[in-house]
Amino acid sequence: MKTSGYINFIITIIISSLFFLTGCSSSDKRSDIEIAIYNAADAATNSDVEKFMRFIDFDYLDERERTKDIIREKVENYLNRFRVISINILNIKTVKNVNDKAEVITEINFSHGLGKMLSKIIRSAGESYRFRLNVIKKARGWVVKKAEWEWISIDELYPESLKVLRELFPDTF
């Protein structure tokens, strides 16, 4: 897994925000989990730390043994450094959803600053990651219980994700 310090921090933000569930319904038949992911991406781009933290399980522990308190600190530090982030959900696959526990795979593309606007100049579409998430549904909605992620190259994206990325960054490919 290739990650730098700021990429790890962005990943922490995304995990923290991925399951912000607003309880709204969807006219295009998205599942509650998918709605949560899209709403979370929106919350992350708006830098709302409180919304991020509400949807991390109290005993969350990631693969690097970061706790909920450590995530909060990292999120706050990152948002103080980078005021603008861009998050694009490329694909969401709910692998298993049984008894209020789900396994989700999602591919996400993100950048900080003016990455999307500068993509034409520097021919970059940001960084892409594949997340494997174990989530549980609690009274307050879906929360992240465990997460694993890896940086993926453009060649490793699922075909449906690559299609979305090409639509977002037509001059980059």
Q: What is the pLDDT of residues 110-121, one digit of tens each?
A: 877 665 555 555
Residue 43 lies in a domain: yes
For 11-32, what is each residue's pLDDT tens digit?
655 665 554 433 333 345 678 8
CATH number of the domain enclosing 47 = 3.10.450.50
Residue with tokens 């060649």: 155
| Identity at 173, one-letter amino acid code | F
C-alpha 93: how far from chain center: 13
Residue 103 lies in a domain: yes
pTM greater than the 0.85 cutoff: no
Q: Which domain holds residue 18?
A: 5-113+130-150
Among the listed residues 71, 24, 26, the one whose alpha carbon sits nearest the alpha carbon of residue 52: 71
Residue 135 lies in a domain: yes
Using the 8-state DSSP alphabet, how is residue 155 labeled? G
Residue 97's DSSP bridge partners are 102
Structure token pair of residue 86 = 């861009």
Number of domains in the chain: 1
Residue 144 lies in a domain: yes
Residue 143 lies in a domain: yes
So what's the pLDDT on residue 20?
Answer: 43
